[in-house]
Structure 1
Amino acid sequence: MCSHTPVCPSAEAPDADAAQADSRCFEQGWTLLCNGILLFEDTGQLRPDLAAVAPRRPRRGAAGKAVAA
């Protein structure tokens, strides 16, 4: 599927969201990666096998700052 050099990571790879963008829709908040992953603005994903990956948002402390999980 990928024609980039070097080849982008597959959809099953741990770093799959590092693939190059094929198309984007900023108004709707999504990017289609060349490995078939639909990446959303909130870091959620829809994989080519239609599996949904929940957003990976950092936890927030009482002061609104990100805290380690």
Structure 2
Amino acid sequence: MCQHQPPCPTATARDREAARTVTCHPEQGWSLLCNGIVLFEDTGELLPDGGIIAPHRPTDLPAPSAA
């Protein structure tokens, strides 16, 4: 699907979110990447095969323990 040179990462690549944006709808909270992924503003993803990636914000990490 990607026509860029060099090609953008595929939907199955670890760096899939680095693909270029084809369509952006910030008022609705989502963008379509050229690899077919729908990326939501909460960092969740809808994959081209219908799979999902749950939101994964950095704030979801546990707080460091005080030493």
TM-score, length-normalised on structure 2? 0.86
1:51 equivalent in structure 2 = 51
Report the aligned-residue RMSD: 1.5
State the distance in 1 between where 2:61 and 2:49 align.
32
1:12 equivalent in structure 2 = 12
State the distance in 2 between where 1:6 and 1:13 align.
15
1:21 aligns with 2:21: yes
> How many residue pairs were aligned?
63
Distance change in 2, residues 1:60/1:48 (3 Å): closer
State the distance in 2 between where 1:60 and 1:7 align.
32
SS of residue paired to 2:17: helix
More helix by share: 2
Question: What letter corresponds to residue 59 of structure 1 in structure 2?
Answer: D
State the distance in 2 between where 1:40 and 1:15 align.
16
SS of residue paired to 1:39: strand
